[in-house]
Amino acid sequence: MPDLERTGRTLRLRWPWLRWTYPQRPWVGSKLPYDDIDMDLFRAATKITIGNGELTSFWFDSWSERGPLRVWAPDLFKVATRKSRSVAKEFLDDNWIRSIAGLSTLVQLAQFLDIWNLVASTHLNPDTPDTIAWTTSSQGIYSAGSAYHLQFLGSLSKFDAAKIWLAHAEPKCMIFAWLAFHAKLLTADRLAIRW
């Protein structure tokens, strides 16, 4: 049975994908029905190749090999003033440096130097638009199935206790497993509670 919350998130992830892949749609630029959790999942599942840098968010999108800048430079992200600007706007005359108001710690300085090296090694191509790829799909294209299964990565499935009775085992073993699953066995920790 599908998880309705995750199914809804799967369908909402299609909006930012279409904003990237079909920017001529009439609703692009308006407020879309997704939240920060949806966008975090979207950004974790996509990889952006920089072209002219106009569609890519400098701080939020995954355009570097290490992922979004706000994730691997969190101390610098906290002090940045213009967090929603594109890569193209931040690269123009090194505007990203102006958005960082005074560095106060060595960690911020180290993160600043990391970003400096990244910006210095990244070159914008004004004739090529930014491209995006869905990393959990073999074709690099969003699909509802891959977005749905992405949300279950690293999670454990629930154990169906009724399957205990389907096992090819002695009845006493199945009864023991059933009692253990339902915490009905008098183990040492449960006996300690009784005394």
pLDDT, tens digit (0-9, with 9 covering 90-100), for 7-59 = 999 999 998 898 888 878 887 778 888 888 898 889 888 989 999 988 899 99
Regarding whether 132 and 171 lie in a shared domain, the answer is no
Give me the sign of the Cα torsion angle 28, 31, 32, 38: positive
Domain of 183 in residue numbering reads as: 161-194
Does the residue 131 lie in any domain?
A: yes
Does the residue 156 lie in any domain?
A: no
Stretch 56-77: mean pLDDT, rounded? 89
Regarding whether 12 and 56 lie in a shared domain, the answer is yes
Regarding whether 134 and 46 lie in a shared domain, the answer is yes
Stretch 158-173: mean pLDDT, rounded? 87
Regarding whether 173 and 81 lie in a shared domain, the answer is no
Does the residue 136 lie in any domain?
A: yes
What does the alpha-carbon distance between residue 121 and residue 84 come to, in Å, rounded to a whole number? 22
Regarding whether 172 and 82 lie in a shared domain, the answer is no
Task: Give yes or no for residue 170 having a pLDDT over 90.
Answer: yes
Regarding whether 167 and 134 lie in a shared domain, the answer is no
Does the residue 185 lie in any domain?
A: yes
Does the residue 167 lie in any domain?
A: yes
Regarding whether 93 and 182 lie in a shared domain, the answer is no
Q: Are 73 and 115 in contact (CB under 8 A)?
A: yes
Does the residue 108 lie in any domain?
A: yes
| The token pair that represents 22 in the structure block | 């079909």
Does the residue 75 lie in any domain?
A: yes
Stretch 51-72: mean pLDDT, rounded? 89
Phi-psi label, residue 185: left if phi above 0, alpha if psi -120 to 50, beta otherwise: beta
Q: Are 54 and 88 in contact (CB under 8 A)?
A: yes
Phi/psi at 143 (nearest 5 deg)? -140, 145
Regarding whether 178 and 119 lie in a shared domain, the answer is no
Q: What is the pLDDT of residue 103?
A: 80
Q: Are 109 and 18 in contact (CB under 8 A)?
A: no
Regarding whether 79 and 129 lie in a shared domain, the answer is yes
Q: How many domains, the chain?
A: 2
Regarding whether 165 and 146 lie in a shared domain, the answer is no
Q: Does residue 27 sit in helix, strand or coil?
A: coil
| The token pair that represents 168 in the structure block | 């090819």
Regarding whether 107 and 18 lie in a shared domain, the answer is yes
Regarding whether 172 and 104 lie in a shared domain, the answer is no
